[in-house]
Amino acid sequence: MKHLFFVAVASCILSGTTNSVKAQTSVHEGRFSSNNQLKSSLKFIEDIELSTPLVSTVTIAEKANTGITTANKIAVVSEIGSGIEQCSPLQFKYALMMNTNVESISNLELYNFIEEWFGTRYRYGGSQKSGIDCSSFSGKLMQEVFGITLPRTAREQFRVTDKVSTEDLVEGDLVFFNTRGGISHVGVYLGNNAFVHSSSHDFVIISSLTEAYYANKFICGGRVAVEKMAEIAGNE
């Protein structure tokens, strides 16, 4: 019965998110981005009713279209388990977006930062809410959340990291891609193959390393190495 209650919660929450928005977040075929508008209706299971306060306090991103299927909703809510009662709306939202459990959404400073910038459009050379490019976004995130000051470009950021394999990536590592020749795109790893970045095709968004496009363009992960930063600074 408790499991069915969580299913009803997720169905109710996700059914109300049909507002037009900028972000694309789906776990369809390992992806976190989709252009499909979520369309669903509230279904009550075994006469379980949900109170209005519960429904209103746990909502999906105002900025995010979702292509999450019913099966994914059930799987995620099952994974969340009893923690759903203690999690914040922000944790619940990103747990669903990233197809993970709420316990992994523990760095609220990080996710508040993402929430603030989520949906900001891409602009080459940009660094403001009116438009921001990938390396400026990763630099701002690393500075404000982790207190690490990075060089400006993706290529320079690559030079101050120790290379990390996909299996060893942890929250806060950088992920680098060859999208235009060499190191030409960067994002910040979140967990469960998800990374946040300012996509040159879209805007600030969460994508997956298993998505075909990024899997083909992925070079490696990078963990900021203080000694490399000091060495480069000393040579300038």
Active-site annotation holder among 12, 87, 185, 220: 185
197 is catalytic: yes
Q: Do the bridges between strand 127-128 and strand 174-177 make them parallel or antiparallel, or are there none, so unpaired?
A: unpaired
Rounded CA-CA distance 60/140 in Å is: 25
For 224, what's the count of Cα atoms within 13 Å in the CB-facing half-sphere?
A: 24
Spatial distance between the Cα atoms of 105 and 76, rounded to a whole number of angstroms: 13
> Do residues 211 and 142 touch, judged by C-beta distance below 8 A?
no
Can you state the angle between helices 89-98 and 108-117, rounded to 10 degrees? 80
220 is catalytic: no
Q: Among residues 3, 12, 87, 197, which one is catalytic?
A: 197
N residues, the chain: 236
User: Catalytic residue among 12, 87, 134, 201, which?
Assistant: 134
User: Active-site residue numbers?
Assistant: 134, 185, 197
